[in-house]
Amino acid sequence: MKKIIIVFVAMMLVPLQAYCGWNSIGKIKIVYPNSAVNSVYVSHDSMINPDSCTYNTYYLLDSSLPMTKEMFSTILMSKATSADIQLYISGCSSNGFPLIRHVLLR
């Protein structure tokens, strides 16, 4: 039991930001559907790379992930209306780009 408490306290001392993948609120700059990789590349005002992927020029919306159509629709709507959007980035694609996991329209 003491070990569990020590681990829990140690985890609380580590800054939460180190484990967060939300970028800052901003605008979508580029939307680039690419049929060669069956995915969509997205550029945002606030590019982050929490998992140190090879590239940080675009995020990748992988078509094999759940809710891809809904996320793509939200990203397109944000671009078309210049609405603020926030993206949750986690993991790297097989070709080295940070992956979009969640989309939050502001």
Q: What's the CA gap between 28 and 84, in Å, rounded?
A: 8
**DSSP string computed for 17-84:** GGG--B--SB-EEEEEEETTTTEEEEEESS---TT--S--S-EEEETTSTTHHHHHHHHHHHHHHT--
Split into its structural domains, the chain has a count of 1
Say how far apart CA 17 and CA 95 lie, in whole Å.
26
CATH number of the domain to which 48 belongs: 2.40.50
Please state, in angstroms and rounded to a whole number, the distance separating the CA atoms of residues 84 and 80. 11
Q: How does pLDDT run across 17-37, given as a tens digit for each residue?
A: 444 599 999 999 999 999 998
Residue with tokens 């989309």: 103
What's the mean pLDDT in 5-14? Answer: 42
Residue 71 pLDDT greater than 90, yes or no: yes
pLDDT of residue 92: 96
In the predicted structure, residue 50 carries a pLDDT above the cut 80: yes
Average pLDDT over all residues of the chain: 85
Pick 14 or 70 by higher pLDDT. 70
pLDDT the model gives residue 20: 58
CA dihedral 73, 75, 81, 86 (to 10 degrees): 140
Say if 45 falls within a structural domain. yes
Residues of the domain holding 61: 20-105
* 1 inside domain: no
**Is 60 in contact with 40 (CB distance < 8 Å)?**
yes
Q: Is residue 96 part of a domain?
A: yes
pTM, rounded to two decimals? 0.79
Whether 15 has a pLDDT exceeding 80, the answer reads no
Tell me, yes or no, whether 28 lies in a domain: yes
